[in-house]
Chain A
Amino acid sequence: MKKYLLAAGTLVVLGTSGAFAHVTLETQEAAVGSTYKAVLRVPHGCDGKATTAVRVQIPEGVISVKPMPKPGWTLQVKKGKYEKSYQLYGQAVASGVKEVDWSGGSLPDEFYDEFVFRGTLAADLPAGEKLYFPVVQECDGAADRWIEIPAAGQDEDALEYPAPGIKLLPKK
């Protein structure tokens, strides 16, 4: 019995520390049609190495994205066409930022940092579902890819490198 408890305890401890060790978003839910401030939390490097770049892919339906510059890091965006045109304050928006890169910095494994961008969640995003922001964390000669999106019915906790995501709430 003691053994089982110990095993269960170990699992809980390992499980939670595993979840904390992922790259995640600070605010885990937001209403469609609202502006969302995404704070990417990077808790450690890749296998003990210092993080040198963080790249995030902007999912379809997140428009008018503006990243926050960060001292010591080079900020770049990749722009492209959206799959369709969106209405923003009465104007059609058909293209914009698809990827945000912070690179050239150095975040040692033992330190923590945050990377911030802001965007608008299109009003026609499906409320009640999850929206994922795949992140590639690059270190010197290594990379952790937080890009796994659970298949339908799959438990998110079973994923090794889950992509950070938010739950979409109904429009206010």
Chain B
Amino acid sequence: MPGKHVNRLAVGLLAMLVLLAVIAVPGAAFAHAALITTDPGDGAVLAQSPTQFSLTFSEPVSPLVLTLVQPDGTPLQLTAFRLSDRMVEIDNPQTLKSGTHVLSWRVISADGHPVGGAVLFSVGAPSARPAVNEAVDWDLRSAIWIGKVFLYIGLFLGGGGAFALAWLAQGGHSGQRFVIAAILCGLVATPLSLGLQGLDALGAPLARLAQPVVWQTALDTSFGWTVLIALVALGLGLLSLAGRSGAKLFALAGLTGAGAALAASGHASAAEPQWLTRPMVFLHGAGIAFWAGALVPLGLAVRRQPAKAGSFLRRFSRAIPFVAAVLAAAGIVLAVIQVQTPAALVGTAYGQLLLVKLVLLVFLFTLAAVNRWKLTAPAEAGETEVQRRLVRSIGIETLIVLAIFGVAAGWRFTPPPRALAIAAAQPASVHIHALKAMADLSITPGHAGPVAASMVIMTGDFGPLDAREVTLVLSKPDSGIGPIKRSATKPGDGSWRVEGLIIPVPGRWMARIDILVSDFEMVKIQAPIDIRP
């Protein structure tokens, strides 16, 4: 009876893991958030101290740290803010002295990765730019990277190893000590990673690791789910090694948990379409755990007890082609979604890491294929020389796997080309307000090249304005360009559009909108708009 009891417990835990993974999936999918507009605008010179600031992003975000650095360099924490859809409205608690201020912001989006930036504006007249610490904290970055590698070791070598011992070795104990050590590694690294995530989220140095607010912040990010699920998965792996009864179910739950932990946060899981990316990350993670976890126990088994290792080797080699196929397929799908264009493989840090990983994978798959189709049969038959070669090969495979973990952990710091493309596609917008009329102008995408402009025209007091004609005039006097004049058309949704416009160079352009209010009355309004490179 106790055996059955334990089984039921394991099934319950497995169900809980799946449930956790489902809860962890947010309602809508988002990539890295990109800042679209700010009020005051970057570089603005205001006549008076503003009563509030606003930041508008490409998607909803949660602010982590908002700091106003005053002209004399003293920082002021801004704590009163409101969220309305994609906009963060921040109260300014005091009247600002004249001079240049820096509004430094740090927010988190749904992939669990914090993003930050700064807006520079002046009251009265510009002064020297106050010093703002924007340097990368390399100590923290290294710590996060190491934490991530150990988390992978725990989940894949530990959790996956426990699975291999329970399902493939069937009673063999070679490598058990290594697996336990890997799980313990993971159990230490996982909570530490949470604290490091909190530090990164707040932009705080390593010295503040002990503060509760750091941990609370990290728990509120999607990485909190990864940590919770990983801890449960590692615990299940350890349980499977401890008792005899239920070991298989515990180990299976542990392997499932390893996949679910990865699927709960990160670039790949946050990508669209969610119904595809999250299961793919799950399969990829579970596949890695199956393969990588079996390597060390298998190698040790073949070396120490060649006679008993035969059945272990047979089961592993029968399953591995399918597992590798699923692993590779999921990886390819995710890579295509993330990288989008072949050019991004070379042109972005994310793509370069992927190339390094692919090179390592070529070695790994070559070794694995030789092992599987050349060495396995003779080794099973008991040829000692071949067995020795197989053990050495498995050792090298393990090292390559560790190197791949290192590369994959580096992705934590590189936004994927997909997110970069989303950010690049964001429009440049400006609100032009004059006494007689006002307009919301947005140029999509907001960088130099072929663009489309969209304008919503209103009267000066936000009333409807049924203009007869609208003309957009763009000029860049400092580059001697312009005016580029295009009459807008009405697509019927209340806006005015100019298609097929080409903005030749990035920088600050002057946008003028000529609004023909009635047959004999024209209103011209204008404002500068920043076009990204």
- Confirm or deny: B275 has a beta carbon within 8 angstroms of a beta carbon on chain A: no
Q: Hey, which chain B residues are within 8 Å of A147, CB to CB?
A: 520-522
- Confirm or deny: B519 has a beta carbon within 8 angstroms of a beta carbon on chain A: yes
- Confirm or deny: A30 has a beta carbon within 8 angstroms of a beta carbon on chain B: no
| Contacts A/B (CB < 8 Å), 13 sampled | A55-B519, A57-B519, A57-B520, A134-B520, A134-B521, A136-B519, A145-B516, A145-B520, A145-B522, A147-B521, A147-B522, A148-B524, A161-B522
Q: Hey, which chain B residues are within 8 Å of A161, CB to CB?
A: 522
Evaluate contact between B520 and A136: CB separation under 8 angstroms. Answer: yes
Cα distance A57–B521 when bound, in Å?
A: 10
Interfacial residues of chain A within 118-172, with CB under 8 A of chain B in the complex: 134, 136, 145, 147-148, 161
Q: Hey, which chain B residues are within 8 Å of A148, CB to CB?
A: 522, 524
Contact with A along B352-376 (1 / 0, CB 8 A): 0000000000000000000000000
Chain B residues in the interface with A (C-beta under 8 A)? 516, 519-522, 524
B433 shortest CB reach to chain A, Å: 16
Give the A-B pair count, Cβ closer than 8 A: 16
Task: Select from chain B the residue with minimum beta-carbon distance to A146.
Answer: B520
Contact with B along A42-68 (1 / 0, CB 8 A): 000000000000010100000000000
> Which bracket fits the contact residues of A?
under 10
Q: Name the residue in B519, B520, B521, B524 with the highest tally of chain A Cβ atoms < 10 Å from its Cβ.
A: B520
Q: Hey, which chain B residues are within 8 Å of A134, CB to CB?
A: 520-521
A120 shortest CB reach to chain B, Å: 21
B482 shortest CB reach to chain A, Å: 13
Task: Select from chain B the residue with minimum beta-carbon distance to A143.
Answer: B469
Q: Hey, which chain B residues are within 8 Å of A145, CB to CB?
A: 516, 520, 522
B517 shortest CB reach to chain A, Å: 10
Q: Hey, which chain A residues are within 8 Å of B519, CB to CB?
A: 55, 57, 136
Task: Select from chain A the residue with minimum beta-carbon distance to B483.
Answer: A160
Task: Select from chain B the residue with minimum beta-carbon distance to A55.
Answer: B519
Task: Select from chain A the residue with minimum beta-carbon distance to B473.
Answer: A160
Q: Hey, which chain A residues are within 8 Å of B520, CB to CB?
A: 57, 134, 136, 145, 147
Contact with B along A2-44 (1 / 0, CB 8 A): 0000000000000000000000000000000000000000000
Task: Select from chain B the residue with minimum beta-carbon distance to A148.
Answer: B522
Q: Hey, which chain A residues are within 8 Å of B522, CB to CB?
A: 145, 147-148, 161
Cα distance A136–B519 when bound, in Å?
A: 8
Q: A57-B520, A136-B519, A148-B524 are in contact. List 12 more A-B contacts (CB 8 A).
A: A55-B519, A57-B519, A134-B520, A134-B521, A136-B520, A145-B516, A145-B520, A145-B522, A147-B520, A147-B521, A147-B522, A148-B522
